[in-house]
Chain A
């Protein structure tokens, strides 16, 4: 079963659950946008071996999107020493930063590794599939974008995102929203231009291109330099594939990646439950009405006795 037909299947299941529950008549209104695969999906290949931790990408993104000025300027490298929650977490994306670069001092090699972090623009995004108002869209260019106009603020997408990328403006009382990298969709991606961060990178650590091509490029780089690279393209398979992929010279878990992620889409995990939805809807009414009739039949004597009593009053 291809990813696309699987999603369609799952979708119709939930729709059945929702619609039957609400006894809604118009099935046509459920005609949903269909995912036609992403042959033209763009992506970015991040080569950690080339990154020098200059934070130019952070600055470029900040400027491109008019984000608030950070507490420490972008040329202050002391941010790499920042840790939070008793050293358990390095810097992460926030409502003020779509992307951050972190330094990892690894055992595997003498020099530290730097990793740029942003939304991975998954092929089957968990944020999208878990959102009950469909606030997310996976565009044909591969970007996963968010629509604040329908968002209710339940933060399910934040729970679901396997990379914990979405941030949220908790402090806004009237219009809080999800904040995350949008692949520079509006001003660049739709015009065929590379994202601001990619364009700004002085090291060509970030390569923009068709995802399909990038996968090939990545494997080629590994093949031509097997000593340098770990033989894995992070994001090729993780959670069903992501548009942003990584190459590294150190084992990925040492560069802060979650290497325990499943290789099929997060959406698949709901399958075993969604499988029972049509069954419950189809079988329960008949089953329980049957029980009811049986129980009534069995209790016939007692009930008629009750009635006699009532009559007698």
Chain B
């Protein structure tokens, strides 16, 4: 892609071809405005595509194998460790890392921090895809995935926390689809639909906060069903939901920093000037938020330890492991962030964001898998289970990239400058004439 850009090529970023003014066809949009031949040429040139291809070549057959032979053929099939990587990583890690949507939605739409606007769409998309793929993981893990809708329709286990998680993830996924659909409608060229959705932004955002607060916490509460199985250092009947909620805040923010870093490095051709120019200051702002959440998290961790009087456990082997997790994933990031923020060292912030994500992964895996059954025996995910998890993760990366290449997430769609839409209500009769949309906007602006 970079080579084409060098040759002066400009990827599709508006409804109409700037050269002759005709509307881009869907096919042209999908191919970013390249000819099919050129498109495949750039596909082949990028070594990352080959890497993905190899992963899928191995992983997809394994997934098929799992559906033919049952879960036992890829998992260890232990009765003492009912959950493996699919839920331990796919659900318990993907969901907090996807808290970004509701966090930035709140910041921009509710608190009116327009400085973060350029990154909002990325955060929303990150949230949507993270949740979507958490559900994909669930589909692999469930014994009978075709019954996924049972808790919604057939039979209600209303006393169960998982019931709440299920409903919330489903509803929240819908909310996020609606939020991201704004970009989609813009791209596909249905401004009416986009404007219609846009009117509901505040409602969607508030719904997002409620659902997120509850189900991020509920994920932690799921573990309170297993006292004694989860090691006391990772367990707290009272605080579990606060731990999970609070850590999802810094996890979501760091995920945005991490993804934007990768985007900046690998697809800057797709980013608008506005995005690239503001990214550093946005990153610093996000880091401030993340370090506040990290400090809060550390404090409530200590409160929790004192409350349950767990200090004696720290001298055991588990204690060392626990201190390592907290040290690398919480304390070190706090120090690095504060240093980097003071010195405006964006590079260090980015590194720390990756470190914090690593810390979060460690925490969730420790809670759900590693310290689980700590007084029984240790069970490690077998090879095929790991292959499937890696495959689905890269499926996530692929879809993510596919969308970023196309939808106006990193750049503003030219037909309707995005920044004007922020506070501009649009009347129903908005004429979807794509040729001169600016005119209508100038016309219809009214103070809200």
Contacts and interface: CB of A to CB of B under 8 A. Distances in A.
Nearest to B244: A273
B73 A171 contact: yes
Nearest to B213: A280
Contact of A164 (B79, B165, B379): B79
Interface string B152-164: 0011111111111
Contacts of A200: none
B167 A18 contact: yes
Nearest to A158: B82
A260 B231 CA distance: 13
Interface string B199-214: 0001001100111011
Contacts of B422: 306
A14 B238 contact: no
B161 A14 contact: yes
Given A14-B160, A135-B157, A160 B226 contact: yes
Contacts of B241: 272-273, 276
A168 B144 CA distance: 12
Interface in B207-260: 209-211, 213-214, 217-218, 220-222, 224-229, 237-241
Contact of B161 (A262, A270, A311): A270
Interface in A2-16: 7, 10-11, 14-15
B424 interface: yes
B158 A14 contact: yes
B240 A21 contact: no
Interface in B28-87: 67-73, 75, 77, 79-80, 82-83
Contacts of B141: 154
A295 B110 CA distance: 7
Given A150-B150, A159-B82, A176-B70, A288 B110 contact: yes
Given A126-B225, A167-B79, A292-B111, A176 B143 contact: yes
A72 interface: no
A156 B422 CA distance: 43
Contacts of A269: 221, 224-225, 227, 237
Contacts of B148: 152
Interface string B103-129: 000100111111000000000000000
B376 interface: yes
A275 to B, nearest CB: 10
A107 B213 CA distance: 51
Contacts of B159: 7, 10-11, 14, 129, 267
Contacts of A201: none
B319 interface: no
B68 A173 contact: yes
Interface string A288-313: 11011001101100111011001101
A288 B106 contact: yes
Interface residues of A, number: 84
A77 interface: no
Contacts of B377: 84-86, 88-89
A232 interface: no
Given A17-B168, A32-B158, A135-B155, A292 B110 contact: yes
A110 interface: no
Interface stretch (B182-190, B268-276, B390-398, B437-445): B437-445
Nearest to B225: A160
A152 B163 contact: no
Given A132-B163, A276-B217, A277-B214, A295 B111 contact: yes
B206 A289 contact: yes
Given A292-B202, A306-B422, A171 B72 contact: yes
A131 B160 contact: yes
A152 to B, nearest CB: 5
Contact of A22 (B165, B171, B441): B171
Interface core residue of A7, A130, A303 (most chain B CB under 10 Å): A130
Nearest to B166: A132
A126 to B, nearest CB: 6
B321 to A, nearest CB: 18
Contacts of A151: 143-144, 147
A171 B70 CA distance: 5
Given A14-B163, A152-B148, A175-B144, A304 B206 contact: no
Nearest to B443: A311
Interface in A125-184: 126, 129-135, 150-156, 158-160, 162, 164, 166-177
10 contacts: A14-B160, A21-B211, A85-B379, A89-B80, A152-B147, A159-B222, A169-B72, A175-B144, A266-B225, A280-B213
Interface of A: 7, 10-11, 14-15, 17-18, 21-22, 30, 32, 84-86, 88-89, 92-94, 126, 129-135, 150-156, 158-160, 162, 164, 166-177, 258, 260-262, 266-267, 269-270, 272-274, 276-277, 280-281, 284-285, 288-289, 291-292, 295-296, 298-299, 302-304, 306-307, 310-311, 313
